[in-house]
Amino acid sequence: MIRIFRHYISSAYLILILLEGIVYLSAIPVAYWFRLGITVGWDEYMLALKVMSPIYAFAMLTSAASLGLYQRALSQDYAAQVLRMVMVFSIASLVMAVVFYSLPELFLGRGVLLGAVFYSAVGVTVVRILFNRYVDSEAIQQRVLVLGAGEKASQIEEYSNAHKHSGYRVLGFISNTSETQKIADHRIIQLNRPLHKIALNLDIDELVIALDEERSQIPVDDLFNCKMAGFRIIDFLTFFEKHSGEIRIDMLRPSWLYFSDGFCVDGFVRTIKRMIDLFASVVVLMLFFPIMVFIALAISIESRGKGSILYRQNRVGQDGCEFEILKFRSMRPDAEENGEAQWAAANDDRVTRLGSILRKYRLDELPQLYNVFHGEMSLVGPRPERPEFVEELAKVIPYYKERHQVKPGLTGWAQLNYPYGASVEDAQKKHQYDLYYLKNYSIFLDLLIMLQTVEVMIWKKGSR
């Protein structure tokens, strides 16, 4: 794993992006050369090389990222990869057509564009076949040794068994006699020689400290020898932060919040984030205005003029301040006639026929762009909850109110990694992803989340 602007990214997938980027960058120059041969002028060729190639590569890579093609979950789903690659080429071709129409002087000819698409398809297919074959091979997997065999170690084992394609392999667990063993005997590595020599013999890349009682059990001298030998040492929480994109609050100590890196947002980042919010909210509102008018008319027709088109509800925002969130009404007007706040449920009978479609594609949330423009929300951040739920959840979920350190968002890290939640247990799981976002807060992470939200909307993940 490589950390870029605080966010952990798989080194294997960075290599994949680099290789595909090379294919896309070379596509137009190669197609131009083969299409026109030696008759091409040097100036025209340099135009293709310097201007059109970066535009084409950017369109392809961003489309691929927004459709989830750089996620490990798809590494063994070949049908899904093919479908999404077809969509990527379609989107990129549309982008190039818009560029050519807007800037005719950049037009290179349909033959060149078709040749570039064909070259890209062949090149990326070859790259993907090789990548899928070797991405999970032991030769490039990270080799991990776990110090501990108790409750924390069992959580690592459980997660690793459930995520076979995570880019690492747990070689074994070293048991400490003072903790209750919860790891199968065949996975235990006996501590019959110095720890650093075991690590050298196993050729590990990383040592994870997962002792249940660290203060009294950590072998300081052994760990120092491991560190001096060049082995990377991380704790239990950092392991899950790296590999699952969450911070486990059940094992979180208050001191970890203070002394770990992250959980810091400077004024410059806030200013840039606000500028992005303003620009994007205005642009998207303008682009989607006709659709929003159509949705408003459809809601009015379906409800026969009864009930409001917009649904207004109090939510808790930054610093615990309440604000009124806007949504297209997707439930019956009497959805909460008893006056009590209720979680939305699967197949909720309060949702209208039109509302189910709006919720499926998250179109009911379009009016929240006004909240973003007004400064009550951001494009990216923890989703805002109702005051009634916040009061309830803060009593049972540790560090829950810390999520109000930043503005709530239209989309967020939790929305990408966890389906729609309708219980305290779901809220706790999503809060662990929100804490990851708070800890690794950056413009780079925001841009990644915005890109990946496209996949959530297209494949209707997390809607209810």
pLDDT tens profile 242-276: 999 999 998 888 888 888 888 988 889 999 999 99
Residues 287, 203, single domain; the answer is no
Residues 125, 151, single domain; the answer is no
- At residue 427, does pLDDT exceed 90? yes
Q: Tell me which residue range forms the domain holding 347.
A: 267-458
Residue 257 domain-assigned (yes or no): no
The label of the residue with tokens 């009016």 reads 367
In the chain, the percentage of residues whose pLDDT exceeds 70 is 92
Residue 155 domain-assigned (yes or no): yes
What pLDDT, on the 0 to 100 scale, is given for residue 347?
A: 67
What pLDDT, on the 0 to 100 scale, is given for residue 345?
A: 64
Task: Pick the closest to residue 458 from 67, 88, 61 (CA basis).
Answer: 67
Q: Band of the pLDDT at 338, cuts 50, 70, 90? A: low
Task: Pick the closest to residue 27 from 67, 69, 64, 58 (CA basis).
Answer: 58
Both tokens assigned to 140: 């490039």
Residues 276, 357, single domain; the answer is yes
Residues 64, 159, single domain; the answer is no
Q: Averaged over 457-464, what is the pLDDT?
A: 66
- At residue 336, does pLDDT exceed 70? no
Q: Band of the pLDDT at 33, cuts 50, 70, 90? A: confident
Residues 330, 393, single domain; the answer is yes
- At residue 463, does pLDDT exceed 60? no
In the chain, the percentage of residues whose pLDDT exceeds 90 is 58
∠ Cα 105 108 111 (to 5°): 155
Q: Which amino acid is at 455?
A: E
Q: Averaged over 87-91, what is the pLDDT?
A: 90
Residue 252 domain-assigned (yes or no): no
Residue 232 domain-assigned (yes or no): yes
3-state helix, strand, coil in the chain (%, to 5): 60, 10, 30
What pLDDT, on the 0 to 100 scale, is given for residue 108?
A: 72
Residues 355, 319, single domain; the answer is yes
CA distance 280 to 370: 11
Residues 332, 224, single domain; the answer is no
* E strand or H helix that includes residue 294: helix 267-302
Residues 95, 69, single domain; the answer is yes
Which of 134, 153, 172 is the last residue in one of the domains?
134
Residues 344, 425, single domain; the answer is yes
The HSE-up count of residue 266 (CA atoms within 13 Å, CB side) is: 2
Residues 128, 152, single domain; the answer is no
Residues 48, 180, single domain; the answer is no
Residues 29, 117, single domain; the answer is yes
DSSP state, 207?
E
pLDDT digits 0-9 by tens, 130-154: 998 887 777 788 999 999 999 999 9
pLDDT digits 0-9 by tens, 304-324: 878 889 999 999 999 999 999
Both tokens assigned to 451: 């890109």
Q: What is the count of structural domains for the chain?
A: 3
Residue 401 domain-assigned (yes or no): yes
Which of 76, 108, 134 is the last residue in one of the domains?
134
